[in-house]
Amino acid sequence: MMGSAREWRYNWVVDLRAIEEFVRRDWQEAAASKRAYWAERFKHDCQATWEAAQLLLTHTRRVRSEFPTDRDRELDFASHLALRARLDRAAHAFTRR
């Protein structure tokens, strides 16, 4: 157990330049890189996609034990129907030309 902030000391060697580089890094670029990495991984690895979905579900159920409620399911279904309608419209836009 750590004591107060005044009492606690970090006992490992710290590379101050590495810390400065980390703090000053381009965080938007780092976030974009992470998104690109995971998008590519999920695109080619169905198992990784499934496992990520299961981890998210497990986490959500720990945070909200009642998840998914009937209302959650209704909203999810409605969003699927809306997406389907948009995809249908987009598909028809290309076939009518």
Q: Any idea where the domains of the chain sit in the sequence? A: 68-97
What pTM, to 2 d.p., does this model score? 0.44
5-41 pLDDT per residue, tens: 566 666 678 888 988 999 999 999 999 999 999 888 8
Helices 27-44 and 46-63 sit at what angle, rounded to 10 degrees? 120
pLDDT digits (tens, 9 = 90+) for 54-63: 999 999 999 9
Burial 76-86 (b: 16+ CB within 10 A, else e): eeeeeeeeeee
Q: Residue 56 and residue 41: Cα distance in Å, rounded?
A: 17
